Amino acid sequence: MEKVDDRTILEKFTEDFVKVLERHAKYIIVSGFVAILHGRSRGTEDIDIITEKLQPEKFALLHEDLIKSGFECLQSRSSEEIYTYLKDNTSVRYVKKGTYLPQMELKFARDQIDNYQITTRKKLPLTGTDFFFPSIESAIAFKEELLKSNKDLKDAQHLRVIYGKKLDELEIERVKTEIKKLRL
């Protein structure tokens, strides 16, 4: 039987982007898109992605590869200038050339929590995708302890229902403790 392609615009866009990105760096998809890929019923305009920190020359290669693959950065065309944002822990936004949305909001790992999330990254079969994510425990901890907006708390609630008793509550608390230590 023919397989139905039920991928959303966001999934196709992310597939195209990470196909390029993974040639240059390890990454994780974080924040709202994680919940949406688990069936959370809400829209979003951007996908948040964290990569390991790259040196300027390596980032220039990634940027060039993205441009060749049909993406453009909304902040600047110059990889040197884009790098100054990333170095200062500011995210930069890539779109498919000639469009405004969706946007890939890219940032470098900023501390040991981000590095830990990248080191322990995993694929999550329930999403039906081949992307890399932090652990679900980590995703929930960030939403409940750091982000805390109404939307984020609902995302966390949704993920808690989906994973139920499979969640490692001790790991959620451990990540929350790290967040308090390093981010709050």
Q: Three-state SS across 163-178? A: HHHHCCHHHHHHHHHH
Exposed/middle/buried for residue 41 (C-beta within 10 Å: 0-12, 13-18, 19+): exposed
Smallest separation (angstroms) from other proteins to the CB of 139: 14
Among 31-39, 64-72, 112-120, 176-184, the segment contacting other proteins (CB under 8 A): 31-39
- Residue 119, interface with other proteins (CB under 8 A)? no
Contact with other proteins (CB under 8 A) among 24, 40, 63, 121? 40
Region label for 70, one of left (φ > 0), alpha (ψ between -120 and 50) or beta (otherwise): left
- Residue 57, interface with other proteins (CB under 8 A)? no
Cα 49 from chain centre = 3
Contact criterion met (CB below 8 Å) for 168 and 136? no
Q: Would you give the binding string for other proteins spanning residues 128-157, x where CB under 8 A is met?
A: x---------------------x--xx--x
- Residue 125, interface with other proteins (CB under 8 A)? no
The residues that touch other proteins, with contacts defined as CB under 8 A, are: 4, 6-10, 36, 38-45, 74-75, 93, 99-102, 128, 150, 153-154, 157-158, 161-162, 164
